[in-house]
Structure 1
Amino acid sequence: MKYSLRFLMVLAGAFIAFNNGKAQTTNSYLQEIEQWDSSRIHYLKSEEGWLNLEGLFWLKEGKNSFGSNPSSQLVFPGNILPADAGYFERQGNSVRLFPTEHTGILVNGQVMKDAVVYNKDLLPAPVMSYGSLRWTIIQREDKIGIRLRNLSSRHLREFRGIERFAVDPAWKVDARLERGNPFHTVSITNVLGQTTEQRSPGKLVFTLKGKQYSLDALEEGDQLFIIFGDLTSGETTYPSGRYMYARKPGPDGITTLDFNKAYNPPCAFTPHATCPIPPPQNILPVAVIAGEKNYH
């Protein structure tokens, strides 16, 4: 079969235009992932990020002395605080701070003789500070404790980024949300061994390499939050799985799962976090070679 020179030129032009368009799309997607990664790193290194955590102290009922003195019930590391900094008093779900006089501990930027620093009506929880230290009170079921940050932490200074798998658009897939009943929940266990029932809008059903899989989703604001594990967990990725966000689907029930944006939980960076781990049904029987690798 013979083709005219004009036809072949048109065909070649169309082929070049197609490949140029494909290359532009790929470059645009690579830029999107790079911007996402840059924002992720910026957050990790920020005051609210996970690299500066240096302590998690659970409070018992009654008085809990704290300071840099090894004899304190709660020993803050680094010899930054005075030896005897005062005490916290827990009464049920309420915590009050009683700093030692003239320590210079601040509560939301102000020196106070004593202050209620936690109850369920105090939102957000007050921030206490001394030098480079910042701490707040957190609650995990019946446990109430102090989350301590050091803005001069060596982990911040030593951080050199997170290794990732090569970006591959094939790991960005459409997913269909199969909604459960309005009261559907999923059992989620954290690293403390606590299990809670969390509301789930349903399962995200998707296809990878010709096979169908599903992941139970949770709701977080205007997004879906997914906790999952796969065959790379404990090998090239964090043993207790990774996290991922997706936009809530529109009326057609379709959203996008981008495994290139799968990221490590806080526990990959610090032992002082209380991360949820994947429920058994969210352990995928496939190696997801996309997103963040384990942090060493």
Structure 2
Amino acid sequence: MTVQDLSTDTVELEAFTRDWQDWRARQFDRLADPHGFLAVTSLNWLSETPERFEDAPGLWSTGPDGVRVELDEGEELIVDGAAVHGAYSFGVIAERASLFPVSGDAVIEVAKRGGHDILRPRHPENPLRVEFAGTPAYEPDPRWAVTGRYLPFDEPRPTTVGAAVEGLQHVYDAPGRVEFELEGQALSLTVFNGHAPGSLTALLTDATSGVTTYAANRSLQIAAPAADGTVHLDFNRAANLPCAYTDLATCPLPPAENRLPVAVAAGEKTPFERG
């Protein structure tokens, strides 16, 4: 190897590391957001019986017509920029959707998860958020960034997975799987649709899970496949889901086939909050 080759390798490694550090900074900002998951103060399952919760205004209930709140005199919510008083109906909420009415400096998440309507207040002063100091992670290493191939299914496959909350299930349409090689082993992951158009998400565990990384799950975001099905998997960006930090999350668990037999010593480790 020539001096020029060494110089090129050094420059590429520095760029790789900077990109990873930028990703880490975005991860921190997302978690430290005043109304992010670390601000959640309770997880409440709504029923037809109106119920009041100490960290949210109003009496809350749900039924065939959706979620409803009855606010007492002096109580207020801001919904889509407008002040709401008295009785208000949020209507039927779609699965995995969330609404975020505002109450003072808090937001009161109204959502549906696993077919159940929930109320999840988010208060910026929650100690879990205020004391958040970041997430430990493995140092970035290009050997954990590999090329794979996306193989779409003939039709999306409804895939039922468990959840961080006992007894809850999620159903996702899996559009295909990704095949790749890691640590000398041929592996594959069933993938779900990602947030960006055409992108993919993989939920996974591996031989580090429960040892150095969170036991239940991590997620990997995968950019949209190239025309020939090629995808880039960077396990340095294997990320914790909210349930790694708080028991007030309903995160999905990986499909059984996504439990990798190798130790993926890359990405985010078990949060300090679970230490």
What's the TM-score, normalizing by structure 2? Answer: 0.90
Q: Secondary structure at the match of 2:159?
A: strand
Name the CA distance, whole Å, in 1 between partners of 2:158 and 2:62: 32
Q: What are the equivalent positions in structure 2 for 1:119-138 lying under 5 Å apart?
A: 119-120=92-93, 126-138=99-111
Q: Quick check: which has more Rg, 1 or 2?
A: 1
Equivalent of 2:175 in 194, 201, 205:
201
Letter matched to residue 55 of structure 1: S
The offset of 1:240, in angstroms, is 0.1
1:107 is matched with: 79
Please say if residues 118 and 125 of structure 1, whose CA atoms lie closer than 8 Å, have aligned partners that are also in contact.
no
Name the CA distance, whole Å, in 2 between partners of 1:126 and 1:257: 32
Which structure 1 residue ranges, 4+ long, deviate > 4 Å from structure 2?
123-126
Equivalent of 2:187 in 213, 231, 234:
213
2:221 is matched with: 245
The offset of 1:105, in angstroms, is 4.0
- Structure 2, unpaired ranges of 5+: none
Name the CA distance, whole Å, in 2 between partners of 1:266 and 1:124: 16
Q: Secondary structure at the match of 2:13?
A: helix
The offset of 1:179, in angstroms, is 2.0
Q: How many residues align?
A: 267
Please say if residues 106 and 124 of structure 2, whose CA atoms lie closer than 8 Å, have aligned partners that are also in contact.
yes
- Larger mean Cα displacement after TM superposition, 213-222 or 123-132: 123-132
Equivalent of 2:127 in 154, 168, 181:
154
Identity %: 27
Please say if residues 41 and 123 of structure 2, whose CA atoms lie closer than 8 Å, have aligned partners that are also in contact.
yes
Please say if residues 101 and 107 of structure 2, whose CA atoms lie closer than 8 Å, have aligned partners that are also in contact.
yes
Name the CA distance, whole Å, in 1 between partners of 2:162 and 2:181: 27
Q: Secondary structure at the match of 2:110?
A: strand
The offset of 1:124, in angstroms, is 7.3
1:88 is matched with: 60
What's the TM-score, normalizing by structure 1? Answer: 0.84
2:250 is matched with: 274
Q: Secondary structure at the match of 2:155?
A: coil
Please say if residues 50 and 61 of structure 2, whose CA atoms lie closer than 8 Å, have aligned partners that are also in contact.
yes
Q: Could you give the per-residue CA deviations for residues 99-123 of structure 1, whole angstroms, max 9, x where no partner exists?
A: 11013444344142222134238x9
- Structure 1, unpaired ranges of 5+: 1-13, 67-73
1:41 is matched with: 28
Name the CA distance, whole Å, in 2 between partners of 1:86 and 1:120: 19
Please say if residues 62 and 91 of structure 1, whose CA atoms lie closer than 8 Å, have aligned partners that are also in contact.
no
Q: Secondary structure at the match of 1:38?
A: helix
Name the CA distance, whole Å, in 1 between partners of 2:97 and 2:176: 30
Letter matched to residue 163 of structure 2: N
Q: Could you give the per-residue CA deviations for residues 215-241 of structure 1, whole angstroms, max 9, x where no partner exists?
A: 111112421000000011111110102
Note closer, same or farther for the CA distance 1:57–1:182 as it changes in structure 2 (3 Å cut): same
Please say if residues 169 and 252 of structure 2, whose CA atoms lie closer than 8 Å, have aligned partners that are also in contact.
no
Q: Could you give the per-residue CA deviations for residues 239-295 of structure 1, whole angstroms, max 9, x where no partner exists?
A: 102011001212111101100000111001111110001111100001100000000
